[in-house]
Copies of this chain bind each other. A is one copy, B any other.
Amino acid sequence: MRSVSIVAAAQLPVQKTSSQDLRTMGTAVIRQVMDQANVDRVDALYTSNMLADELEGQKHLAALLADEAGLAGIEAFEARATMASGAAALRLAFLAVASGDVDLAIVVGVEKMSSGPATPALLKALDARRELPDGKTLISQNAQLMQAYFDLYHLPADALAHFSVNAHQNAQYNPNALFQDRLYTTADVLDSRLISPPIRLLDCAPICDGAAAVILAPTEEARRYSDQSVRLLASAAATDRFRIADRSQPLALTAARLASQKAYRQAGLKPADIHLFEVHDAFSIMACLQVEAAGFAETGEGWRPAAEGEIGPRGRLPLATMGGLKARGHPIGATALYQVGEIVRQLNNQAGPTQVPGAKTGLMMSIGGAGTTIMAHILGK
């Protein structure tokens, strides 16, 4: 298997409502990332998006972006796994380059959630037969997990609020973050509007528009394109059952355990070797469960690093260093590509005030549904 590197990463500022349409966002970020790598041609374009079928009446997005970007001719198709689609497209590109079949691949994630009613389309990440008739939503499932976690471990009320506080704290230094000027205390989180008990507004990532892209190349050729390339040391995916009631250990976030274990094995690293963790903090409970599942805390202790001030950029376990899904924003199909770009910045010592000192490795996690599909990628300098 060829070693694979990320040789360029670009992203548009996350916005509540972008003034650009979906295709313009996609082509803009493709041009940016190609300029960065100083290439006018690539071998393949892999895309991720979750909602264009419904919100834009548009399938065939990979070929469309290739056409719009003046790249018609090249290989182009899409990878999907609902909210983990960006990670799926990244993994597809990883496999293509690792195999030796593709030398230079762009991965672009783009989502314009402001185009229409996103919520009904997001619901399609759940099992339409076995979950929706019970009135389940993604939020209600996360609420169920959060309540179960509090019930089991008898935590202080603000145990999880620290994740959101940290994300907003970090986002203020990220010019591409949706929320750069909203700093909160844990009291603010606990006072925010109740959405689905016990989940409050400030436990949730926002609906927004965004596009981000990376270019992958064989490590041995990476220097042709950049002197700031970062190796993609591991790429792994796993699944769990859809219904929480069908999972033997719902709080174990089994797919996250499986995916991160595979990724550690592939990279030859262990949790202690990871310098920052770009967590899929669509809900604060998910951040907590991923900290445990990825091996950074014992069962029932995932909230402690947050509550004990260890998740800031200079802490033992820096999380959501550029705002995370919570405060950078979560433009679904683009999210994982924002995460990649942020880790690349960190590993190149370009993260400004939230720079993790000496960061050489980063783990990122992506979740589709309420823990159903989980992908883990490890980047290393």
**A interface, CB within 8 angstroms of B:** 1-2, 21, 23, 44, 50, 53-54, 56-60, 62-64, 66-67, 71-82, 84, 88, 91-92, 95-96, 98-102, 121, 123-129, 132, 235-242, 246, 254-255, 258, 266, 368-369, 372-373
- Tell whether, in the assembled complex, residue A237 and residue B60 are in contact, meaning their CB atoms are under 8 Å apart: no
Q: Is the CB of A239 within 8 A of B67?
A: yes
Contact between B76 and A258 (Cβ–Cβ < 8 Å)? Answer: no
Roughly how many angstroms separate A123 CA and B258 CA in the complex, as a whole number?
39
User: Are B50 and A59 touching (Cβ within 8 A)?
Assistant: yes
Contact among B53, B64, B132 with A242 in the assembled complex (CB-CB below 8 Å): B64
Task: Give Cα A353–Cα B71 distance, bound, in whole angstroms.
Answer: 44
Contact B81 A77 (CB under 8 A): yes
Q: In the assembled complex, how far is the CB of residue A59 from the closest CB belonging to chain B, in whole angstroms?
A: 4
Q: A76 to chain B: which residues have CB within 8 Å?
A: 81, 237, 239, 373
**What's the Cα separation between A57 and B241 when bound, in Å?**
19
Asked, given contacts A81-B63, A95-B101, A101-B235, whether A128 binds B373 with beta carbons under 8 Å apart, the answer is: no
Measured CA separation A1–B71 after assembly (Å)? 26
A64, chain B: closest CB distance, angstroms? 6
B62 touches A81 (CB 8 A): yes
In the complex, chain B residues whose CB is within 8 Å of the CB of A54: 53-54
Contact between A23 and B129 (Cβ–Cβ < 8 Å)? yes
Whether B369 lies near A60 (C-beta < 8 A) is yes
Complex CA–CA separation, A56 to B337 (angstroms): 29
CA distance A58 to B125 in the complex (A): 7
Number of copies: 2
The 8 closest A-B pairs by CB, nearest first: A99-B99, A75-B237, A59-B124, A77-B81, A98-B99, A78-B80, A95-B95, A77-B88
Q: Are A372 and B63 in contact (CB under 8 A)?
A: yes
Assess the B372–A60 pair: CB atoms within 8 A: yes
Complex contacts, A74 vs chain B, CB 8 Å: 238-239
Q: Which residues of B contact A132 (CB under 8 A)?
A: 57
Q: List 27 A-B contacts (CB under 8 A).
A: A1-B101, A23-B129, A50-B59, A56-B128, A59-B80, A59-B124, A60-B81, A60-B127, A60-B369, A62-B239, A63-B242, A63-B372, A63-B373, A64-B242, A74-B238, A76-B237, A76-B373, A77-B91, A77-B237, A78-B88, A79-B92, A80-B80, A92-B92, A92-B95, A95-B102, A98-B100, A99-B99
With A23-B129, A92-B92, A242-B63 known as contacts, the answer to whether A124 contacts B75 (CB < 8 A) is no
- CB pair A240–B73 under 8 Å, yes or no, is yes
Q: Are B254 and A73 in contact (CB under 8 A)?
A: yes
Q: How far is the CA of A123 from the CA of B242 in the complex (A)?
A: 30
Whether A238 pairs with B73 at a CB distance below 8 angstroms is: yes
Query: How near does chain B come to A303, taking the closest CB pair, in angstroms?
Result: 26
Distance between Cα atoms of A239 and B47 in the complex (Å): 14
> Are the CB atoms of A99 and B88 closer together than 8 Å?
no
The answer to whether B238 and A124 have CB atoms under 8 Å apart is: no
- A123 to B, closest residue via Cβ: B57
Chain B residues, CB < 8 A from A100: 1, 98-99
The answer for the CA separation of A124 and B1 in the assembled complex, in Å, is 37
Residues in B with CB closer than 8 Å to A238 are 73-75
Contact assessment for A1 and B67 in the assembled complex, using a CB-CB cutoff below 8 Å: no
Please give, as numbers and ranges, the residues of chain B lying within 8 Å of A80 by CB-CB distance.
Answer: 59, 62, 77-80
Which of chain B's residues have a CB closer than 8 A to the CB of A78?
79-81, 88
Q: Closest CB-CB distance, A7 to chain B, in whole Å?
A: 19
Do the beta carbons of A77 and B255 come within 8 Å of each other? no
CB pair B99–A368 under 8 Å, yes or no, is no
Partner of A241, one of B72, B92, B129: B72
Residues in B whose Cβ lies below 8 Å from that of A79: 77-80, 92
